[in-house]
Amino acid sequence: MFEPHPTFVQPNNDAVKIWRYMDFTKLVSLLDSRCLFFSRADQLGDPFEGSWPKMNIDARQLTLKEVPSESQAAFTNAMAKMGDFNKQWLKYNVVNCWHMNNHESAAMWKLYLKSNEGIAVQSTYKRLRDSITDSERVFLGVVKYIDYENEGIDAGNLLTPFVHKRMSFEHEREVRALVIKIPVAEGGTLDMTQETISRGLAIQVDVERLVEKIYIAPSAPGWFADLTRALIHKYGYEFEVDQSKLDQQPLF
C-alpha cells in the first residue's frame, strides 16, 4: 500500500495528469496481471541512479577533521566502504516511473517507444496513489532535478538519492514510486550478500482505478488502434481509447 514518507515530496495538485508510455506487450502485462512492474534501480540505465552528488562526497572528507585522531583510520575505512555499500544498495530498491504533465509529450513518445505501435496510459497522481493494493510498502513522490556538481542533498536518509536526478533529465518531470526489499539476516542485521530482487517486482494495483484513459501513438496504423480496443474489451475493461492527435496537420 502507499505509505507517506518525508523524503518523497507530493505534488501541489494531486489531480495532475501523469503518463506512462509503453509498448503493446507492457499494456498486455498490465491488464492481464493487474500489476505494475517495478524495475530494480541498478538496471534503469542511468549510471548516476541512486548516487550522491559531489558536495555530499566531499562532505565525508570534511567530517574527518572532526573525528578524534585515534578514530580517524577507522572512519576513513568506513567512508571508503560507503561507496561500495551505496552501489550494493541499488539492488534492494525497485522503481516505477511516470511522466507528470497535463498534456501529451511528443518528446516522451519518441523517447520511450521503439516503434509507432505504442500506447500511453494516462492517469492522475491521485489515481496512481489510490490504486496501489499490494501488501508491500510503496513510497511515491516527485523527483527533484539538481546540479550534481554544485548542489547537495539531505544525507540523513538512504532514500534521498532515489528522488533526485541530474538537471539533464529535467524534461522527464518524473513521478516515482519505490519499494525496498531489505536483506535481513538472522538476528535482524543487514546481509548484503543476499539477493532479495532478481530483475524487479510486480506490484498489484486496481487497474480500473489507475487508468483514466489510453492513448494510441500518433503515427500508429488504424489496425493497431482496433487491436488495442479489442484487447481492453477482452479483459473486461471499459477504458476510453483515443488516438493521439499530435500528428494532425496544422490549419493555416
d(CA 42, CA 84): 13
With bands split at pLDDT 50, 70 and 90, how would you rate the model's confidence at 69?
confident
Strand partners, 205: 132
Q: Where are the domains of the chain?
A: 17-243
pLDDT of res. 112:
83
With bands split at pLDDT 50, 70 and 90, how would you rate the model's confidence at 63?
low
In the chain, pLDDT over 90 holds for what percent of residues?
A: 73
The model's pTM is 0.91
Q: What is the mean pLDDT of residues 77-96?
A: 87
- 221-238 pLDDT per residue, tens: 999 999 999 999 999 999
CB 57 within 8 A of CB 63: no
pLDDT of res. 247:
81
pLDDT of res. 153:
95
pLDDT of res. 111:
87
Residues recorded for the chain: 252
Q: Residue 102 corresponds to which cell in the numbers above?
A: 497535463
Least confident of 36-50, 68-82, 169-183, 199-213: 68-82
Q: Name which of 214, 203, 201, 207 is nearest 127 in CA terms.
A: 207
- 166-202 pLDDT per residue, tens: 999 999 999 999 999 988 877 777 788 888 999 999 9
In the chain, pLDDT over 70 holds for what percent of residues?
A: 98
Q: What is the 3-state secondary structure (H, E, C) of 69-80?
A: HHHHHHHHHHHH
Q: What is the mean pLDDT of residues 24-40?
A: 96
